[in-house]
A and B are shown apart, each in its own frame.
Chain A
Amino acid sequence: DQQVKQNSPSLSVQEGRISILNCDYTNSMFDYFLWYKKYPAEGPTFLISISSIKDKNEDGRFTVFLNKSAKHLSLHIVPSQPGDSAVYFCAARGNAGNMLTFGGGTRLMVKP
């Protein structure tokens, strides 16, 4: 049972445009969400996070939106750059412990 899902395995965007990566979850006990960027054969790199008490968090080109009622979050990258090309994972943490549950990842390709 996948508690965190990223339904789009890949996304292609033109440089300078907005990239929107989506993530859905089923566990209502999740209260903290994170986005990571990952290259092959490397560990994930933290991008941005959001607590369930907020609906938006912004850091430079990255903005994460959380819709608790829909159990949906999204990562917006604007403007997208070729260096953003990587696999992006969303992750969620429940309020009963500090382990993370990861989505399946979305491969973002930003074309020059």
Chain B
Amino acid sequence: ETGVTQTPRHLVMGMTNKKSLKCEQHLGHNAMYWYKQSAKKPLELMFVYNFKEQTENNSVPSRFSPECPNSSHLFLHLHTLQPEDSALYLCASRGRGRKAKDTQYFGPGTRLTVL
């Protein structure tokens, strides 16, 4: 149904682990986003990439490291996370026009639990 996929859908990790979240979009978009959403809280924008270049970093701690090898793929590398980092991590992509098809489309998210 969605043109944006995310893996894994669920992840449980310890504070000393290193893991990566993957996002792939099949919509031909050139902007990709990472958001964090804690329980019953609004979306928090983390990173923005336009044409593979990072254009926004909203003061995200360095234990979150994004990577965008091309316009279709986006990764979020995680290391030494804290329990308060447990949340739903959402990836989105967007085109450059003003039509509905060019607004942000979200992947299903990765539900992360840090023990």
A and B interact physically: no
Q: Which residues of A contact B (CB under 8 A)?
A: none
